[in-house]
Structure formats: structure tokens, C-alpha cells
Amino acid sequence: MASPIAHVDMDAFFAAVEVRANPKLEGKPLLVGGGPGERQVVTTASYPARRFGIRSGMSVREARARCPTAIFLPVDPARYLSASEELIHLFERFTPLVEPASIDEVFLGLEGLSAEADGGQTLARAIQSAVRREQRLGCSIGLGETKLMAKMATSLHKPDGLTRLTSGDFRREFWPRPTGVLWGVGPESEAALHQLGVRTIGELAACPIARLEGVFGVTASVLVRMAFGEGGGSIVPYFEGLPVRSMGHESTFPVDLVDGRRMERHLLLLADKVSRRLRRAGRSGHCVTLRIRFADGTTITRQRALSTPTDDDRVLYRIAATLLAENVGGQAVRLLGINVGHLVGPGATGFLFPEDQRRQRLEEVRDRLRDRFGEATLIPGGVVALIQDEERRS
């Protein structure tokens, strides 16, 4: 039996990330999109908005006509990329075979993970639970013997779906459906198939390859295999494929912060988390970005470029604290985030002074201790003060 492949598709990802950042949006029709002036289109609609017939690609003008109470937010690429990267690292805890297909979907190879017994369903439920508990997001998962089968399984039940397809299941479910449903068959290919009298996936599976070759050439055999649920290739882990360009963490506060000292302590915690991720990945970055969302919902980002890349939490904190002091001006803050971009790999950071080498060795020892005994083993003093402060307030 072939090892199962999982396809994870985040449910209304952009909208869900915005709701996570602002829980007051929970349950409301939310549109996330962009474009100039009257050309604005919906990139993602929350599920409450979809009940009004609103879909991705629809103009915002039409969407608002369908649902006048819909809330519109512009696309925030940095936020969604940061969330996507955090999800990738979560998936890595379950399997090293993680292949991003887009910002909101990944393929996971479940080979050698005792997933064969139930086709990966137990492991898939554990992944869904971890995403929901740790990231406060929802996802749907498809399981199959191939990437194509897993991808198409995901589409059958959303949101929060879990669907496993065998070869027999695939034929029963999809052969009666139009060829345009098949992953990889676009409108032009579907129209060409219609010219040949092939309208369903089952008819494509039964069509002689010689007949298809006159129109599709060497891809004719590929189309027929796809009709049987075959295709998509093997899993290509992200570290062998698409590079991660930035890493970050952010915190949304249950009560808006007005105390500058508490804000700085949260920055200390965020800087520590980001630096840990950078060191684990063997990366350092040339650009530090501070993200601030104020109590009125206004969000700003401020950046500092570095001549030498860093993974040092002290440097990240110092830059973030400076940017915070320059831009808050006594306003209440709802969210803070630190992101490090323009990443480079191992060996790109030179050691100008002996203390830099000593600092790295010390961080390596500290990381090993925290990996073994838990994050609370060695944490910055300011973070301890923050924890104590939060405990007193609770």
C-alpha cells in the first residue's frame, strides 16, 4: 500500500488570520481584498460572508451589494506570510516532508509515520487539532495515495473537513463530474475536451489516448492518468523548494496596552521567540520590522535595515523598542509583532569581535537546554517580570 499524502488547505485563511488578530470580527461577514478604486476584488471571504453568495474574485462593489453589512479589510501580505511560516513549522513537528503549494495550503508526506493503518486519518486529526489549538485557525485536510487525489479530497468537505480517498473512492466520487473539476484542467483544456465529446472525468478515463494525442500531444497520457487520480509528483520539502523569506511572531492582547514598560516586555518575549526560530533554521536577517496595531484598529509597520545580518534577540529587541518609542506616542496598543526579513543562510554572518563568537556559543548552549528542559528553563529577565505581572493581573 502506498504511503498516504495529506493536503492541508487553510479555511478562509486571510479572513481567519484577521479574525485571530481582532476577535471582535468573529462571526461577521468579512471581506479581504485589494485593487485600486472601483476595481477592488475579494481575495478571501469569511464563511459568514459566503452565505450571501460572495466568492473570491468577485468585485467588492458586488459583494457589498449582496451584503451591505460586510466588513472590508485590505490584504496584509506580511501578516499572512508570517502566519503561513508559523504553520509550516507546526507541520514539521509531524513530518519533515512539508511542501508549500501556496501561502494557505501544503502537501505533507506521511511516509514512515505509522499512518498506513488508517490512511493517515488519526495523524490528520492530530494536525487539525494542533492548528486549531495553537494557531487558532481552521483547516481542511484531504488524504490520498497521490498529491492529486489528496488535493481533490480536500475540496469535498470544507470548512474543517477531513476526507480520505482511495482509488475506488476517487472513481465513484469524481468520474461523474465535469472534467473542469479535475485539478490541472483549466478552461481551455476543458473546452478542447468538449470538442472531442469528453465532458466527464469518467469519459476522460475511458477515452483512447490516440484520440487525445491529436489535440494534446504527449500530455494525453498524463490527462488519462489524472482521470484515475494519478499525478502531482512526489513531495518536495520546502527547504529544497521555495525559500522562507522572513520569520516573525506577533501578539494580540486581550486588553489594549497603555503601559510602555509592558509593551517593551512583550517585545522582549517576541524578540526571543523570533531569534529562536532563526537559529533553529540556521538563518539570520538584514531587515527588522515592527508591526503595531492601535486600539482604533489602525495598523502600521516600521522597518530598520541592517548592514550585517543578525539572529541576536538583543539586537531585535533594541531595534523594535526604538521603533516603538518613535511611533506609539502614548496611544493604546492592541497588537505588537516583530518580523525579520531578507534572510540569509549559515555562514553569512561574520564575527567581527571575539565576543560575537562567545555570544553565539552561549546561545547554542541556551538553546540546547531549552530544547531539552523546556522554554522556561532560561528566559530573559524581562520576560520573567512580564509573566509575573500577568499572573498578578489575572
Higher pLDDT, 367 or 326: 326
Judging by DSSP bridges, how do beta strands 30-34 and 71-74 pair with one another?
A: parallel
- Tell me how far apart the alpha carbons of residues 40 and 22 are, in angstroms, rounded to a whole number: 23
Helix (H, G, I), strand (E, B) or coil at 369: helix
Higher pLDDT, 26 or 394: 26
Q: Express as a percent the part of the chain with pLDDT over 90.
A: 48
Contacts with 37 (C-beta within 8 Å, 6 or more apart), sequence order: none
Encode 218-240: b = buried (16+ Cβ within 10 Å), e = exposed: eebeebbebbbbbbbeebebbee
Q: Report the pLDDT value the prediction gives residue 71, as an integer from 0 to 100.
A: 94
What confidence category does residue 81 fall into, taking pLDDT thresholds of 50, 70 and 90? confident
Q: Report the pLDDT value the prediction gives residue 354, as an integer from 0 to 100.
A: 41
Task: Compute the average pLDDT of residues 314-330.
Answer: 91
Query: 169-227, what's its fold?
Result: DNA polymerase; domain 1 (1.10.150)
Q: Are 210 and 54 in contact (CB under 8 A)?
A: no
DSSP state of 3: P
What digits encode the pLDDT tens for the residues 297-316? 888 888 887 767 888 888 99
Q: Report the pLDDT value the prediction gives residue 391, as an integer from 0 to 100.
A: 42
What digits encode the pLDDT tens for the residues 170-208? 999 999 999 999 988 888 889 999 999 999 999 999 999
- Tell me how far apart the alpha carbons of residues 339 and 35 are, in angstroms, rounded to a whole number: 25
Cα torsion through 123, 129, 133, 138, rounded to 10: 120
Other beta carbons within 10 angstroms of residue 205's beta carbon come to 18
Strands (E), 146-257: 162-164, 246-257
The CATH number of domain 1-165 is 3.30.70.270: yes
- Per-residue pLDDT at 150 exceeds 60: yes
Q: Report the pLDDT value the prediction gives residue 359, as an integer from 0 to 100.
A: 52
Other beta carbons within 10 angstroms of residue 195's beta carbon come to 8
- Evaluate whether 169-227 and 244-393 have a shared fold: no
What digits encode the pLDDT tens for the residues 335-380? 999 999 878 765 434 433 344 445 555 555 455 544 554 444 445 5
Q: Indicate which residues carry an active-site annotation.
A: 105
Mean model confidence pLDDT for the chain: 83
Strands (E), the chain: 5-10, 30-34, 41-45, 71-74, 98-102, 105-109, 139-144, 162-164, 246-257, 284-294, 299-310, 333-344
Q: Express as a percent the part of the chain with pLDDT over 70.
A: 81
What confidence category does residue 124 fall into, taking pLDDT thresholds of 50, 70 and 90? very high
Q: Report the pLDDT value the prediction gives residue 360, as an integer from 0 to 100.
A: 55
Higher pLDDT, 131 or 364: 131
Encode 356-393: b = buried (16+ Cβ within 10 Å), e = exposed: eeeeeeebeeeeeebeeeeeeeebbebbeebeeeeeee
The DSSP line for 76-102 is: -HHHHHHHHHHHHHHHHTT-S-EEEEE
Domain ranges of the chain: 1-165, 169-227, 244-393
Burial status of residue 103 (CB atoms within 10 A of its CB: 0-12, 13-18, 19 or more): middle
Q: Report the pLDDT value the prediction gives residue 361, as an integer from 0 to 100.
A: 52
228 CA to centre of own chain = 30
What digits encode the pLDDT tens for the residues 227-256? 999 988 778 776 554 456 788 888 888 889
Query: 244-393, what's its fold?
Result: Dna Ligase; domain 1 (3.30.1490)
Beta-carbon-side half-sphere exposure of residue 54 (alpha carbons within 13 Å): 32
- Per-residue pLDDT at 146 exceeds 50: yes
Q: Report the pLDDT value the prediction gives residue 305, as an integer from 0 to 100.
A: 79
What digits encode the pLDDT tens for the residues 1-23? 567 899 999 999 999 999 999 99
